[in-house]
């Protein structure tokens, strides 16, 4: 009888819910265990997309579960920038997140409004919506949106959603909006809503805001709003010597959007949106008595956990370690470009960028390294790129180069 019980325990241990493939703890679901393995393997060589694969949230999850927070349903509906946050929200922490980033993007603490968004796209949605309402409320005329043909597609989608007229401005071969093309397209009779790319998605180009602002300044009577789409670059640039590139004090913009899951390594989509008070004050009012006052943001229910993760990372990683990471990324980007050049593999890179684009390698390499694909006749046609995030180390770059050779 005893032998029989021992046998049953051994069988349950072997085939039951303890171990999945590769020695990891089993979920009890075969399909999920298989995918866990695929995700964990893929994470090591995920080079083509701007996600930091070194999330520092393990102790957050331990705290979250051990305190029973996983059984508390919180919601950040409402304005986090008030001094009277709703108790079943994390708005008090969300406000501190905005306050931490306020000087990094060149805003003043007494002239900023912001939220933790659901993604970079959500931040752009707010930028375009706030810009359009600000300009319309100021002039009584709907603006034209000007955006480069290399900017992220979400900006076009959002203009479509918001029924705004768009003029797509040609960019130069490296991906920057061409000031002369903007000048040709400008209609000074209508307000201008500029969407500046602070790191175009494929080539990593930054629109030359100084030159583009100079074009706009030729029409002092024209009302202007500038939103910066800094989904990826807005993460690391504030922690480098190039902080001025994303500073409102130097670049003169009204709002900015950044993704939280890119540089900051939050493990699912999130982001930041910041604008000036003048912009906030010129939005349409929706006074909602059952929430904490005037709702200016687009969403009613908003995630309460992402702001908490952001806050946690500010405490645990913070300015010093983000600076180290940002500088290491810049260094590894340089290394990748040099190593590609050493083997005469055609490659290109914009200034301040952690993205290197190059002649497209064989299909198997593109697939193994999850390379993002592009096409441009100016660079010989078929291209791919690597976005050098925290997990793309020199050792991994060496492995990639070896396979290319």
Ligand X SMILES: Cc1ncc(COP(=O)(O)O)c(C=O)c1O
Q: H/E/C letters for each residue in the chain? A: CHHHHHHHHHHHHHHCCCECHHHCECCCCHHHHHHHHHHHHHHHCCCCCCCCCCCCCHHHHHHHHHCCHHHCCCCCCCCCCCCCCCCCCCHHHHHHHHHHHCHHHCCCHHHCEEEEECCHHHHHHHHHHHHHHHHHHHHCCCCEEEEECCCCHHHHHHHHHCCCEEEEECECCCCCECHHHHHHHCCCCCCEEEEEEECCCCCCCECCHHHHHHHHHCCCCCCEEEEEECCCHHHHHHHCCCHHHHCHHHHCCCEEEEECCCCCCCCCCCEEEEECHHHHHCCCCCEECCCCEECCCCCCCCCCHHHHHHHHHHHHCHHHHHHHHHHHHHHHHHHHHHHHHHCCCCEEECCCCCEEEEECCCHHHHHHCCCEEEEEHHHCEEEEEEECCCCCCHHHHHHHHHHHC
Using CB under 6 A as the binding rule, whether residue 269 contacts ligand X is answered as: yes
Minimum gap (Å) between residue 123 Cβ and ligand X: 8
Which residues ranging from 45 to 64 are in contact with ligand X (CB under 6 A)? 50
Among 52, 119, 276, 283, binds ligand X (CB under 6 A): 119
Nearer to ligand X, 126 or 152 (CB): 152
Using CB under 6 A as the binding rule, whether residue 98 contacts ligand X is answered as: no
Minimum gap (Å) between residue 405 Cβ and ligand X: 30
Nearer to ligand X, 50 or 238 (CB): 50
Using CB under 6 A as the binding rule, whether residue 235 contacts ligand X is answered as: no
Minimum gap (Å) between residue 356 Cβ and ligand X: 15
Using CB under 6 A as the binding rule, whether residue 203 contacts ligand X is answered as: no
Using CB under 6 A as the binding rule, whether residue 120 contacts ligand X is answered as: yes
Contact string (CB under 6 A) for ligand X, positions 124-163, x = contact: ----------------------------x-x---------
Among 201, 247, 292, 353, binds ligand X (CB under 6 A): 201
* Binding range to ligand X, per CB under 6 A, among 119-127, 213-221, 272-280, 327-335: 119-127
Contact string (CB under 6 A) for ligand X, positions 160-199, x = contact: -------------------------------------x-x
Q: Which parts of this chain interact with ligand X (CB under 6 A)?
A: 50, 119-121, 152, 154, 197, 199, 201, 229, 231-232, 259, 269, 271
């Amino acid at each position: 009888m005893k032998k029989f019980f021992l046998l049953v325990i051994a069988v349950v241990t072997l085939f039951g819910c303890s171990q999945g493939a590769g020695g990891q703890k089993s979920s009890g679901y075969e399909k999920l265990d298989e995918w866990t393995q695929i995700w964990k393997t893929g994470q090591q060589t995920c080079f083509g997309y701007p996600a930091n694969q070194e999330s520092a949230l393990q102790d957050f999850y331990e705290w979250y579960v051990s305190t029973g927070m996983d059984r508390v349903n919180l919601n950040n509906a409402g304005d986090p920038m008030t001094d009277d946050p709703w108790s079943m929200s994390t708005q008090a922490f969300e406000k501190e997140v905005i306050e931490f980033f306020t000087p990094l993007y060149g805003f003043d603490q007494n002239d900023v409004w912001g939220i933790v968004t659901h993604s970079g796209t959500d931040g752009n949605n707010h930028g375009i919506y706030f810009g359009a309402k600000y300009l319309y409320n100021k002039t009584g005329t709907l603006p034209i949106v000007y955006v480069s043909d290399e900017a992220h597609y979400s900006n076009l989608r959002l203009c479509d959603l918001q029924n705004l007229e768009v003029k797509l401005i040609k960019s130069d071969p490296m991906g920057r909006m061409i000031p002369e093309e903007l000048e040709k397209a400008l209609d000074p009779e209508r307000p201008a809503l500029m969407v500046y790319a602070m790191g175009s998605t494929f080539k990593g180009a930054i629109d030359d805001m100084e030159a583009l602002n100079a074009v706009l300044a030729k029409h002092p009577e024209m009302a202007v709003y500038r939103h910066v789409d800094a989904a990826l670059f807005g993460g690391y640039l504030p922690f480098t010597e190039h902080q001025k590139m994303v500073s409102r004090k130097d670049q003169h913009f009204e709002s900015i959007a950044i993704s939280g899951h890119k540089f900051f390594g939050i493990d699912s989509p999130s982001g930041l949106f910041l604008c000036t008070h003048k912009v906030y004050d010129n939005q349409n009012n929706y006074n909602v008595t059952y929430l904490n006052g005037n709702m200016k943001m687009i969403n009613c229910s908003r995630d309460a956990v992402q702001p908490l993760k952001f806050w946690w990372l500010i405490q645990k990683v913070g300015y010093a370690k983000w600076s180290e990471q940002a500088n290491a990324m810049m260094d590894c980007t340089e290394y990748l470009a040099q190593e590609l050049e050493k083997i005469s593999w055609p490659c290109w890179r914009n200034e301040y960028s952690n993205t290197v684009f190059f002649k497209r390698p064989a299909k198997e390499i593109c697939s193994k390294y999850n390379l993002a694909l592009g096409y441009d006749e100016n660079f010989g046609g078929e291209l791919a790129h690597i976005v050098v995030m925290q997990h793309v180390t020199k050792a991994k770059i060496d492995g990639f180069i070896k396979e290319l050779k």
